[in-house]
Chain A
Amino acid sequence: MKSINRISLAAFAAIAAGAAVANDSASPALDAEKVARGKYLVTIGACHDCHTPWIDGPNGPELDMSRMLSGHPADRAIASPPAMIETPWVVQVNDTNTAWAGPSGVSFTANLTPDRETGLGNWTFRSAKDTIRSGRHLGRGREILPPMPYIMYRQMTDEDLEAVFTFLQSIPPIENLVPDPLPPMVAQAQ
């Protein structure tokens, strides 16, 4: 996709959140009601906007649901983070809306699918809850980076968080190894 106004893309993503529809792939073993609630929350909570890659469709940017919630595509390597932009602009976003560059470095959106090696397949509900509540990876690692709005999501009830996690565990696993974030010094040096 050609370089478009990245911020506009992000804004478009937010507006389009309501139209994002997840696949119906709930495991029969999972609580159907909880899965449905989680699917609803993931949709209106705009999770797709950043965690499902965008592609250039016939009518403009659209979610690539074949890679639903699988995060920044491993085949879209960011070899060279962008140069810092002039004030008052702060962040830059790539064309899949999954890589964000700013003062915090470059962050890549996570693979939320239940793939065991590259996604959340070996996570427990506690892993997810601790992450959102604390704003740290797995509740105790590095800080979660912008633009993940955990400050708002941490207000969710345990029940809603569990529904979201149950839904995410029900969707098709996608093998996609998301890169580690790049620290600011790396971004500046390149």
Chain B
Amino acid sequence: MRALGFATRSFIILLAAGTVLASRPAWPAVDAAPARLSETGLYVPGTKRIDPSLVSFRPQYPLWSDGATKRRWLFIPPGTSIDAAGPGGWDFPVGTRLWKEFSYGLPVETRLIERLADGTWRYVAYVWRPDLGDALLAPADGIADLAVPTTPGGRYTIPSEDDCRACHEGPAVPVLGLSALQLSADRDPLVRHLDEIDPNELDLVALHEAGLIRNLPAALLDTPPRIDSASATERAALGYLHANCGHCHNADGALALLEMTLHVDSSVAEVRRTLTGVKSDFRMHGFDRRIVPGLPHASVLALRMRSREPLEQMPPLGTRFKDDEGIALVERWIREDLILAQGEANDEIDQSN
């Protein structure tokens, strides 16, 4: 173990040296992000009260973040609104800001993404001081291993800017938790929420009535959107995969070439088609199918959700611990619903012969 430890440290030193020697690639030049969270517009100046012009929201399918509770706020500049007309997703106006606070008993980190004047997005993170007086801008390289006693394992990772981009720039629009489905009033009853309900949070209809979004299809207002699934389990499982995987695994983003869709803007049939029985680019424990209906232990998708080995784990970043409840849900869907669906498909084939 001593030899391994030394070797590991040596490699880390080598890699770290390379990082120092090689400056980061240049992103679009913009005004620097504020050094303190209190300077970003989240609070009424001089107080810890959330600015009343901000919108609180809570996606119905949350991202697993090692059990963190989260609060989220949206700022849309006065006189502007989100345009829901485009086929590629909601278009957020320049000046849009979204904050997300991560807490483990106490706030640890607050992330901010902002649409800049040139149309690009900036991703920054603020780390709360131990006295909770303010949170300070984290370095663009993030903090790989921060000691935070209240987190599981006592350690915490502040993501780098590249990590932020890896997830947020997977789809065409980098705002991930604010969509018609996520804000739908037709909430999925099987979803466990760690977050406290904010009585002032807005859902889709409220967002529309507040004039913060335009060109929203009337059908979405008349009938709150929900996942068109065959069962309650499937609805919740696909919602989970949508929120935790769909930002990368979708039909039109950076990973479209994988032809693996976990984003439920595609039809449920399309999601199933890209998963069940399809060969995985990644083999694990001798298995090479994304999903084998009825057999979660032979489904690479579930196996990778279970792993926290860096080369295997899914999602590949953002968590240190697996989500046992989420895994149980997805495995139940694979074990019970997909084997049933496969049986029905086989029956149809038999009847047509």
Q: Residue of B at shortest CB range from A182?
A: B311
Cβ-based interface call for A37 (8 A)? no
Question: Across the interface, do B7 and A90 meet the contact criterion of CB distance under 8 Å?
Answer: yes
Cβ-based interface call for A140 (8 A)? yes
* Complexed CA–CA distance, A90 and B316 (Å): 26
Give the residue of A138, A155, A180, A183 whose beta carbon is less than 8 angstroms from that of B310.
A183
B residues within 8 A CB of A90? Answer: 7, 10-11
How big is chain A's contact interface, by range? 35 or more
In the complex, per-residue mask of A31-66: 1 if CB is within 8 Å of any chain B CB, else 0: 000000000000000000000000000000000000
* Complexed CA–CA distance, A145 and B2 (Å): 22
In chain A between 131 and 190, which residues have their CB closer than 8 angstroms to a CB of chain B?
A: 133-136, 138-143, 145-146, 149, 151-152, 154-155, 180-181, 183, 185, 188
* Complexed CA–CA distance, A54 and B140 (Å): 39
Give the residue of B3, B6, B7, B165 whose beta carbon is less than 8 angstroms from that of A134.
B165
* Complexed CA–CA distance, A88 and B312 (Å): 29
- Return A117 CB to nearest CB of chain B, in Å: 10
Give the residue of A103, A138, A149, A183 whose beta carbon is less than 8 angstroms from that of B255.
A138
In the complex, per-residue mask of A103-114: 1 if CB is within 8 Å of any chain B CB, else 0: 111000000000
Q: Total A-B pairs in contact (CB under 8 Å)? A: 88
Given that A134-B166, A140-B167, A155-B22 are known contacts, is A126 also in contact with B312, CB under 8 Å in the complex? no
Given that A134-B165, A136-B316, A180-B283 are known contacts, is A151 also in contact with B248, CB under 8 Å in the complex? no
A residues within 8 A CB of B284? Answer: 180
Give the residue of A103, A126, A146, A155 whose beta carbon is less than 8 angstroms from that of B254.
A126
- Return B304 CB to nearest CB of chain A, in Å: 10
Question: Across the interface, do B19 and A130 meet the contact criterion of CB distance under 8 Å?
Answer: no
Cβ-based interface call for B46 (8 A)? no
Cβ-based interface call for A81 (8 A)? no
Cβ-based interface call for A123 (8 A)? yes
Cβ-based interface call for A102 (8 A)? yes
Interface size on B (CB < 8 Å)? 34
Given that A139-B254, A151-B22 are known contacts, is A87 also in contact with B166, CB under 8 Å in the complex? no
In the complex, per-residue mask of B20-54: 1 if CB is within 8 Å of any chain A CB, else 0: 01110100000000000000000000000000000
Cβ-based interface call for A23 (8 A)? no
Question: Across the interface, do A124 and B257 meet the contact criterion of CB distance under 8 Å?
Answer: yes
* Complexed CA–CA distance, A53 and B267 (Å): 44
Question: Across the interface, do B4 and A183 meet the contact criterion of CB distance under 8 Å?
Answer: no
Question: Across the interface, do B255 and A86 meet the contact criterion of CB distance under 8 Å?
Answer: no
Question: Across the interface, do A136 and B166 meet the contact criterion of CB distance under 8 Å?
Answer: yes
* Complexed CA–CA distance, A190 and B4 (Å): 15
Question: Across the interface, do B25 and A140 meet the contact criterion of CB distance under 8 Å?
Answer: no
* Complexed CA–CA distance, A188 and B310 (Å): 16
Question: Across the interface, do A134 and B11 meet the contact criterion of CB distance under 8 Å?
Answer: no
A residues within 8 A CB of B311? Answer: 105, 142, 145, 180-181, 183
Cβ-based interface call for A122 (8 A)? yes
* Complexed CA–CA distance, A104 and B12 (Å): 10
- Return B316 CB to nearest CB of chain A, in Å: 5
In the complex, per-residue mask of A54-93: 1 if CB is within 8 Å of any chain B CB, else 0: 0000000000000000000000000000001111111000
Cβ-based interface call for B15 (8 A)? yes
Cβ-based interface call for B228 (8 A)? no
* Complexed CA–CA distance, A140 and B166 (Å): 5
Question: Across the interface, do B310 and A140 meet the contact criterion of CB distance under 8 Å?
Answer: no
22 contacts between A and B (CB under 8 A): A84-B7, A87-B3, A102-B7, A103-B11, A104-B11, A122-B257, A127-B257, A134-B165, A136-B316, A138-B255, A140-B170, A140-B248, A140-B255, A140-B316, A142-B316, A146-B11, A151-B18, A152-B18, A154-B25, A155-B22, A180-B284, A183-B309
- Closest A-B pairs by Cβ, 5 of them: A140-B166, A151-B18, A103-B8, A103-B7, A87-B6
Binding site for A on B (CB under 8 A): 2-4, 6-8, 10-11, 15, 18-19, 21-23, 25, 162, 165-167, 170, 248, 254-255, 257-258, 282-284, 309-312, 316-317
